[in-house]
Structures are given as structure tokens and as C-alpha cells.
């Protein structure tokens, strides 16, 4: 359904879509939009049938929503539901797509690289493998604010060298905002050092330390599942997390998705790339507005717009159609 709509959509020249990762989920997400657009519940029904359990029930009740094996398929489905509503309402096809961590899978489904059914099964497995790699309570993640990237990398290297455990820079989210991940004691040690160096440190409520060396065993198992999943080159340009580049062949795409489990999310570089390519409008296609808020701080972004309520969706649709010259 959405592939036909995508072919008919007008092409944007200065708009990019971004898809959020874990942390953007909340119980009751998209409930308001589901009352108005059957595409929301239809998308959840399609994904639930593929995966074998009721994703809409988890999204609405919140039960199990923060367990990564459920968080990932629920968020991906929510993003694709919003994408389908956007196209149904006559929204433009963005010039670029990018997804933060798990969101990269949402972007690939939106761009036609893999089916929704295959993707929800894949990210469900991704969640299970991630959780299995590090037992509950042994890993941690934290946001380090107010230090530059080089300082954070140095602190991680210092603590790892001291033998407190493994810790890495996991997400480069924006200037002065880097998320670290690794073994709990090592993460806490870097947090303490960051505060001594006039930075701030905030522990994140996650069950798994993503995008760090501890995820290598999970990545090796995950690579096998990726090999067995039908993947095509996307119909729209999708910027990858690991290198802030666009894959030119399917093998490179699979490789980047495997590496993404244990390598850093290069979000700062991704947003810089979009600005360098003349993107001025960012639309966040998923629950919440975490990525829109990060984009608002960037010098060349005119507006960053979330989609996850009726009023936000209408505002984004009007703003983008006017900006792209589709309506006066």
C-alpha cells in the first residue's frame, strides 16, 4: 500500500525524515491518531500478525514496553504507521531518511528496503540478542553533557585502561551531548570523572548497553539473521548510523546494520550531512520529539517538526507542503 503511495508522492528538495530509537516509547502512543486514521491500527495488525503477538496492546497498556525485545518492534511499527498516514494525507517523499539506532530499521522499511513483517521479526530478535549479551543489571548507559567528543572518548579510554570494565562512546547525539555505554561500574566511573571535569552526567533508564564493545557477540549472531532476511537497496536515500553515509549496495547495507550494534551512532555527523545537502526541514516520524528537539539547535534547520498527534501532524503537513512549494 505505502509503496504505491510513495511512488505517487511529490519529491521534496529540502526536507528529511528522521526516525527515533529506544527511549521515545510511551504507553498510549498514537491512540489519538488511531481514532482518526485506520492506517495506524492496520499497520499494527499487520506487524502483530508477522511477529505473533499483539504489539498494539503493548503500545497502549505499556506492559513489557520497556523490555528491549518488545520496545523495538513496537517503536518500528509506530513509526511506519505515522509514515503511512503522512503519505495517505498527500505528504511529500523526503529527500533523505535517517534513523537513530533502532530507527535506522524504520527508515529502511519506509524506503522499501525491507518489509514491515520481516523488520519487526528482525528487531525483536535484535532485542533478545542484545539482552542475552549482557545480563540485566550488568550494563548501563549515561548521557554526558557539556564536554566535547574528544574529552568523552579520552575518559572512556582512561577508565577502560584502569581495568574497571569496558565503556565506549555510544551515541554522538549533538555538540556537547554524547551517550556512553558499557559495564555498569565503568560507566559510573566515567560519569564521576565527567562531573569532575565540569560536565554533567545523567544515567539512562535502559535494560541494555547498546552500541558498545559488549554487543559484539550479539552482532555475530545477528549477522546470520540479517543474511536470511530479504533486503533491497532503498528507494529513497537512507543515511547510515555507523558512517553517516548512504549504502551503495545491499552487502554494505547488511554490514552496516551488523556493525551498528557495537559501533557508535554518528548522529551529529548525520545531521551535519543533511545540512550540507541543503536540508532545512526535519520531520520526526515516530512517537515523541527527541530528535526534533536536537535538530532545532542546528544553524541551518528552519524547522524541526514531530508528527505524533493530530495537531502536530497537521502543522507539519502544512509547513512542509508550503516550504516545498506544493501549496501556496
Catalytic residue numbers, as ranges: 101, 211
Pairing state of beta strands 265-266 and 167-174?
Answer: parallel
Phi, psi of 116 (to 5 degrees): -60, -45
- In Å, how far are 62, 82, 146, 308, 311 from 86, measured between CA atoms? 25, 6, 36, 11, 13
Torsion of CA 19, 275, 3, 81, to 10 degrees: 20
- In Å, how far are 101, 136, 144, 265 from 240, measured between CA atoms? 9, 29, 23, 9
What count of other Cβ atoms lies within 10 Å of the Cβ of residue 201? 19
Phi, psi of 33 (to 5 degrees): -70, -30
Query: Which DSSP letter does residue 1 get?
Result: -
Using the Cα atoms of residue 274, residue 264, residue 177 and residue 317 in order, give the sign of their dihedral. Answer: positive
Query: Which DSSP letter does residue 229 get?
Result: S
> What are the grid coordinates assigned to 155, written together?
575518559
Query: Which DSSP letter does residue 215 get?
Result: G
C-alpha 262 chain-centroid distance: 15
What count of other Cβ atoms lies within 10 Å of the Cβ of residue 112? 16
C-alpha 170 chain-centroid distance: 13
- In Å, how far are 102, 107, 233, 290, 291 from 113, measured between CA atoms? 15, 9, 5, 25, 23
Amino acid at each position: 500500500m505505502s509503496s504505491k503511495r510513495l511512488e505517487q508522492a511529490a519529491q521534496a528538495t529540502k526536507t528529511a525524515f528522521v526516525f527515533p530509537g529506544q527511549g521515545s516509547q510511551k504507553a498510549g502512543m498514537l491512540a489519538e491518531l488511531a481514532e482518526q486514521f485506520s492506517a495506524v491500527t492496520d499497520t499494527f495488525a499487520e506487524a502483530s500478525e508477522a511477529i505473533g503477538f499483539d504489539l498494539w496492546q503493548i503500545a497502549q497498556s505499556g506492559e513489557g514496553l520497556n523490555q528491549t525485545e518488545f520496545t523495538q518492534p513496537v517503536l518500528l511499527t509506530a513509526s511506519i504507521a505515522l509514515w503511512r498516514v503522512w503519505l495517505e494525507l498527500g505528504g511529500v517523499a523526503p529527500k533523505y531518511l535517517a534513523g537513530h539506532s533502532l530507527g535506522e530499521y524504520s527508515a529502511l522499511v519506509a524506503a522499501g528496503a525491507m518489509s514491515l513483517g520481516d523488520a519487526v521479526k528482525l528487531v525483536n530478535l535484535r532485542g533478545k540478542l542484545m539482552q542475552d549479551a549482557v545480563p540485566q543489571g550488568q550494563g548501563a548507559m549515561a548521557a554526558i553533557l557539556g564536554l566535547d567528543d574528544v574529552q568523552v572518548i579520552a575518559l572512556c579510554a582512561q577508565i577502560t585502561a584502569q581495568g574497571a570494565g569496558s565503556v565506549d562512546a555510544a551515541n554522538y547525539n549533538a555538540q556537547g551531548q554524547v551517550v556512553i555505554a558499557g559495564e555498569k561500574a565503568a560507566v559510573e566511573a566515567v560519569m564521576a570523572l565527567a562531573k569532575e571535569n565540569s560536565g554533567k552526567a545523567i544515567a539512562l533508564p535502559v535494560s541494555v548497553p547498546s552500541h558498545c564493545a559488549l554487543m559484539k557477540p550479539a552482532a555475530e549472531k545477528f549477522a546470520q539473521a540479517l543474511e536470511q532476511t530479504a533486503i533491497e537497496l532503498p528507494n529513497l536515500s537512507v543515511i547510515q548510523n555507523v558512517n553517516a553515509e548512504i549504502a551503495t549496495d545491499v552487502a554494505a547495507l547488511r554490514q552496516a546494520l551488523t556493525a551498528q550494534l557495537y559501533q557508535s551512532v554518528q548522529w551529529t555527523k548525520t545531521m551535519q550531512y543533511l545540512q550540507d545537502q541543503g536540508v532545512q526541514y526535519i520531520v520526526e516520524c515516530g512517537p515523541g520529539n527527541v530528535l526534533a528537539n536536537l535538530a532545532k539547535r542546528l544553524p541551518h534547520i528552519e524547522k524541526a517538526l514531530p508528527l505524533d498527534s493530530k495537531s502536530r501532524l497537521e502543522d507539519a503537513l502544512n509547513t512542509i507542503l508550503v516550504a516545498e512549494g506544493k501549496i501556496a
